[in-house]
A and B are shown apart, each in its own frame.
Chain A
Amino acid sequence: MPIRVENLSHTYMPGSPFSSTAIHNLSLTIDDGEFIGILGHTGSGKTTFVQHLNGLLMPTGGTVVVNGTDIVAKGAGLRELRKQVGLVFQYPEYQLFEETVMKDIAFGPKNIGCDKEEIDRRVRWACEQVGIDYETTGKASPFELSGGQMRRVAIAGVLAMRPKVLILDEPTAGLDPEGRRAILSMIKKLHTDTKMTVIMVSHNMDDIATLATRLIVMNKGTLEMEGTPREIFKQAERLKKIGLGVPQGAELAQRLRKEGFNLPDDIYTLDEVCDAILKLKGVAQDV
């Protein structure tokens, strides 16, 4: 399911006094099995962009080609597209509505016309993926659960469609550190186990630093930077200029470098910094 975005532009309410351009001339490609992190300040167009990938928004300029199908073309089959590209919105727990967790997760598969056994199989699978107990929690009302659990159920609701591409918009927003870690490791496991393409939108550098294989940095609706985390986090100044930061590890390494410690400039995780410091110390001891 490669995705090709060509000169994509989106203007809200074009031609009215309230018109505003959210995305301007964005081009990029996303290959199978990638883990893409989309970074950007509030209002940089991240959310608007991802809503184009499953046809919830239509471009006002340019196009998006998913698996060879142009989403703008007539008869592009939006339902088929949404089956392939699952989108988990920000605060997805607010879209739960069914009496039981099971039924809510079954909503997606039912809509795409799965039979009863297939639905049950998918619900079980999705529950397992997000760490929800099918037998007990499955029969509870989604409104009785804690915030973190509700979010997992909501993610399971999208997973049950068995998408080839999973998009998550700020999946850790508003969660406590424990809940955040749980969601992140769940996403990581999903990506390694199922080999699905994952696109994660965030403005939290640390969330994305350890997971993504490639980063896309957006600023004011345009593509600002693109590359591996290592390439991106090297350019701390540029990131700070557009209102973003760097992961804790990169920040620490940079400050130590300023103090005269000879650390490499392309490390960004705390583990890497730890190793580099130990190495530095080891070298010093050897001398």
Chain B
Amino acid sequence: MFKDITLGQYMPGDTVVHRLDPRAKILLTFVYIAMVFTVSSPLFYGIPAVYVFMTARLAGLSFRQLLKTIKPLRILLILTFVLNVFFSGGKTVLVHWNFITITQEGLLLAVHFSLRLIFLVLGTSILTLTTSPVALSDGIEILLTPLKKVRFPVHELAMMMTIALRFIPTLIEETDKIMKAQKARGADFESGNLIARAKAMTPLLVPLFVSAFRRAGELAMAMEARCYHGGEGRTRLRVLRFTREDGRAFLVSFGMLALLIVCTVLW
């Protein structure tokens, strides 16, 4: 039952987008976010739209995969839309019925904010869809390196992230196994009221914690046995290098941002 959960959204592949340096991808995502926030009227969403769909195409992602990333957001989207339609005021009244008033300005604003939300999620999803969690935490670690100056434990944080990500599938498997073992002894995890169900969790949680602590201890021992002593002077297996492709990606992205700014100013 737990096997259906896939970790993160990463879709392995070998496309230009997949091959980009994770640092570049993280920075480009920020450029893209800037782009989305620059858009001042719904009309101009054409530019981020072209950007997102072009990138998705290059990454070999289907339209359906992209749409799936917005799905968890649907309630927030509906809420944003409805609140903006009804409560933003404005002069040009389109519909007036009892206490409900819909204005042209309100409608435009609702569309604007909904689109902003959609495009923000779409763009950032492409990052997580095409970058493995390990590459992502590598990229974050390097980008955060300047924070070491203020004694921020960048390396430790990245290591913790990597280890946590690595052990999620293991723990899910473990949970599944213990659950089955207790079910074989007649345990019932599905019926009863809330308190009964919470109580029924003890036979699952105790062994799970015991094994998580055991694993943590073993891992720490194994890391120390291989002379791990923190990030000081540590080199990497995969050295990240910016390539021509990264340069081109930056060029295109900043080009699109500039185009958007010019359009907005001229409008």
Which A residues are closer than 8 A to B by beta carbons? 12-13, 16, 18, 51, 54, 56, 79, 82-83, 86-87, 89, 92, 94-97, 107-108, 111-112, 143, 157-158, 161
Using Cβ atoms and an 8 Å threshold, which residues of chain A touch B181?
87, 89, 92, 95
Cα of A82 to Cα of B185 in the assembled complex, Å: 7
Using Cβ atoms and an 8 Å threshold, which residues of chain B touch A86?
184
A111 and B180 within 8 A (CB): no
User: What are 29 inter-chain pairs, A to B, with CB distance below 8 A?
Assistant: A16-B4, A18-B3, A56-B180, A56-B184, A79-B186, A79-B188, A82-B183, A82-B184, A87-B181, A92-B181, A94-B178, A94-B210, A95-B178, A95-B203, A95-B207, A97-B210, A107-B182, A107-B185, A107-B187, A107-B203, A108-B185, A108-B186, A111-B187, A111-B188, A112-B186, A143-B210, A157-B185, A158-B185, A161-B185
Minimum C-beta distance from A141 to chain B (A): 11
Using Cβ atoms and an 8 Å threshold, which residues of chain B touch A94?
178, 207, 210-211
**Within the complex, which residue of A12, A18, A56, A143 is in contact with B183, where a contact is CB–CB below 8 Å?**
A56
**Within the complex, which residue of A54, A82, A96, A161 is in contact with B207, where a contact is CB–CB below 8 Å?**
A96
Interface: B193 (CB within 8 A): no
- Which B residues from 167 to 203 make CB contacts under 8 A with A? 177-178, 180-188, 202-203
Interface: B206 (CB within 8 A): yes
Q: Check A158/B184 contact, CB under 8 A, given A13-B4, A89-B177.
A: yes
Cα of A194 to Cα of B186 in the assembled complex, Å: 21
**Within the complex, which residue of B177, B184, B188, B202 is in contact with A97, where a contact is CB–CB below 8 Å?**
B202
Cα of A96 to Cα of B178 in the assembled complex, Å: 9
Proximity string of chain B (149-181) to chain A, C-beta cutoff 8 Å, 1 when within and 0 when not: 000000000000000000000000000011011
> A143: nearest residue on chain B (CB-CB)?
B210
> B178: nearest residue on chain A (CB-CB)?
A95
B186 and A161 within 8 A (CB): yes
> A20: nearest residue on chain B (CB-CB)?
B3
A97 and B186 within 8 A (CB): no
Given contacts A97-B206, A108-B186, 15 further A-B contacts (CB under 8 A): A12-B3, A18-B3, A79-B186, A89-B177, A89-B181, A94-B210, A94-B211, A96-B207, A97-B202, A97-B203, A107-B186, A111-B186, A157-B185, A158-B185, A161-B185
Minimum C-beta distance from A102 to chain B (A): 15
Using Cβ atoms and an 8 Å threshold, which residues of chain A touch B207?
94-97
> A16: nearest residue on chain B (CB-CB)?
B4
Minimum C-beta distance from B57 to chain A (A): 20
B186 and A87 within 8 A (CB): no
